[in-house]
C-alpha cells in the first residue's frame, strides 16, 4: 500500500490525539500531586498556585500506605511466581506431550478469558467459605486466598501463551538434549526455558500487573490488616474530606514498580507477546 502524503498526515494526527489522550490525565495527576489541598478543593486549574511536595510526605501519615505497599508486593510476587511455575509445566506438557483431551484442554483454558472477572467473584467467595467450613482452611481475608484468586486470572493466559511459544521451538532441540542424556525435566530447564526466556518474562510481567492493580476482588477478599494498595487508596476519602493531592501522589508511587519493570524488560515483554501470539 502506497504511503501517500494524506496517509502520513492522518497517521500524525491520530498519534497526536492518542498521545494527548494519555498525556493529559498523566499531567493532571502529576500537577495535582504537587498542589496544596486548597487548590484541589477549589476549581480545577492546570497549574498549582504554588508547588509543594508536602502531599508526598503526608500520604504516609494519613493512611498506613507502607503496610498496603508491603501487602501488595507480597501478594503480587507470590501470584507471579506461582503463575509462572505452574504455567511453565502446564505449557510444556501441552506442547511436547500427546494425550487425550490435549486440544480440548487448550481450548477450555483459553475460553476462560472470554468471561468478565466479576462473574467469578461470588463463586470463588462461596468456594472459599465452604473450604473454611469443611477443612478449616481460611482463605477469605487472607493473602493466600487473594493469591489463589489472582491465579484464576493469570494462569489461563499464561498457559496459552507459553504453550504457543514452546510450540515454536523446534523439537530437534529436545532430541539433541536426549542424545546428551537429558530427561524431560533436564530438557525443559536446560534447553527450552533459556530459549523461551522472552515468553517467560512476558508471562511474569502480565501476572504481576494483574495482581498489582486489581481492585474488585481485593476489596472483598481482604481485611483491614492485609489490604492492598489498590484498595488502600480509597482510605484517602473520608466522610468530611477527600485528600485528592495525596491520592494522586500515592497513585504515582503505586505506578512506579510497574513502570520500572516494564521499561527494564520492555524488549523481552514485546518479543514474548508477539512470538507467543504468532506461534
Q: Is the pLDDT of residue 257 over 70?
A: yes
- What are 22-63's pLDDT values in tens digits? 888 888 888 888 888 887 877 777 888 888 888 888 888 888
If one compares 262 and 234, the residue with the highest pLDDT of the two is 234
β-partners of residue 237 are 242
Which range among 7-21, 30-44, 116-130, 202-216 shows the weakest confidence by mean pLDDT? 30-44
- What are 207-247's pLDDT values in tens digits? 898 888 888 888 888 888 888 888 888 888 876 778 888 88
Closest among 27, 55, 65 to 244, alpha carbons compared: 55
Q: Is the pLDDT of residue 267 over 70?
A: no
Which range among 12-16, 19-23, 112-116, 230-234 shows the weakest confidence by mean pLDDT? 112-116
Q: Is the pLDDT of residue 275 over 70?
A: no
pLDDT value at residue 163: 85
254 burial class (0-12, 13-18, 19+ CB within 10 angstroms)?
A: buried
Query: What is the grid cell recorded at 87?
Result: 504455567
Any residues with CB less than 8 A from the CB of 277 and at least 6 apart, and which? 161, 164
pLDDT value at residue 191: 83
How would residue 262 be classed by pLDDT, with cut points 50, 70 and 90?
Answer: confident
Backbone angles phi, psi at 170, to 5 degrees: -55, 140
Inter-residue contact 63 to 232 (CB < 8 Å): yes
Q: What is the CATH number of domain 57-278?
A: 1.10.3720.10
Inter-residue contact 193 to 111 (CB < 8 Å): no
pLDDT value at residue 44: 72
- What are 177-187's pLDDT values in tens digits? 888 788 888 88
pLDDT value at residue 121: 86
How would residue 160 be classed by pLDDT, with cut points 50, 70 and 90?
Answer: confident
Residue that is written with C-alpha cell 503463575 in the block: 83
Q: Is the pLDDT of residue 104 over 90?
A: no
The overall average pLDDT reported for the chain is 83
Backbone angles phi, psi at 25, to 5 degrees: -60, -35
How would residue 270 be classed by pLDDT, with cut points 50, 70 and 90?
Answer: low
Q: What is the pTM of this model?
A: 0.81
Integer-rounded Cα radius of gyration of the chain: 23
pLDDT value at residue 110: 76
| Sign of the dihedral through C-alpha 87, 109, 270, 265 | negative
Q: What share of the chain is helix, strand, coil (3-state, %, to 5)?
A: 80, 0, 20
Q: Is the pLDDT of residue 197 over 80?
A: yes
Domain ranges of the chain: 57-278
pLDDT value at residue 173: 83
Amino acid at each position: 500500500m502506497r504511503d501517500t502524503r494524506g496517509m502520513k498526515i492522518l497517521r500524525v494526527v491520530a498519534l497526536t490525539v492518542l498521545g494527548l489522550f494519555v498525556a493529559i490525565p498523566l499531567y493532571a495527576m502529576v500537577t495535582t500531586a504537587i498542589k496544596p489541598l486548597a487548590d484541589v478543593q477549589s476549581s480545577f486549574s492546570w497549574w498549582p498556585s504554588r508547588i509543594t511536595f508536602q502531599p508526598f510526605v503526608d500520604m504516609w501519615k494519613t493512611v498506613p500506605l507502607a503496610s498496603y505497599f508491603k501487602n501488595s508486593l507480597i501478594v503480587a510476587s507470590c501470584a507471579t511466581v506461582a503463575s509462572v511455575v505452574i504455567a511453565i509445566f502446564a505449557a510444556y506438557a501441552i506442547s511436547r506431550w500427546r494425550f487425550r483431551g490435549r486440544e480440548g484442554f487448550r481450548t477450555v483454558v483459553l475460553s476462560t478469558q472470554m468471561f468478565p472477572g466479576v462473574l467469578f467473584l461470588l463463586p470463588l467467595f462461596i468456594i472459599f467459605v465452604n473450604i473454611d467450613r469443611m477443612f478449616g482452611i481460611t482463605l477469605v481475608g487472607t493473602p493466600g486466598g487473594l493469591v489463589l484468586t489472582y491465579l484464576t486470572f493469570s494462569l489461563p493466559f499464561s498457559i496459552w501463551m507459553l504453550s504457543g511459544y514452546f510450540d515454536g521451538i523446534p523439537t530437534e532441540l529436545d532430541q539433541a538434549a536426549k542424545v546428551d542424556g537429558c530427561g524431560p525435566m533436564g530438557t525443559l530447564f536446560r534447553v527450552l526455558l533459556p530459549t523461551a526466556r522472552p515468553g517467560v518474562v512476558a508471562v511474569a510481567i502480565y501476572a504481576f500487573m494483574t495482581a498489582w492493580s486489581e481492585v474488585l476482588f481485593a476489596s472483598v477478599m481482604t481485611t483491614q490488616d492485609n489490604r492492598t494498595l489498590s484498595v488502600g487508596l480509597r482510605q484517602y476519602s473520608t466522610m468530611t474530606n477527600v485528600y485528592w493531592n495525596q491520592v494522586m501522589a500515592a497513585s504515582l508511587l503505586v505506578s512506579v514498580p510497574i513502570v520500572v519493570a516494564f521499561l527494564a524488560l520492555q524488549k523481552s515483554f514485546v518479543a514474548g507477546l508477539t512470538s507467543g501470539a504468532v506461534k
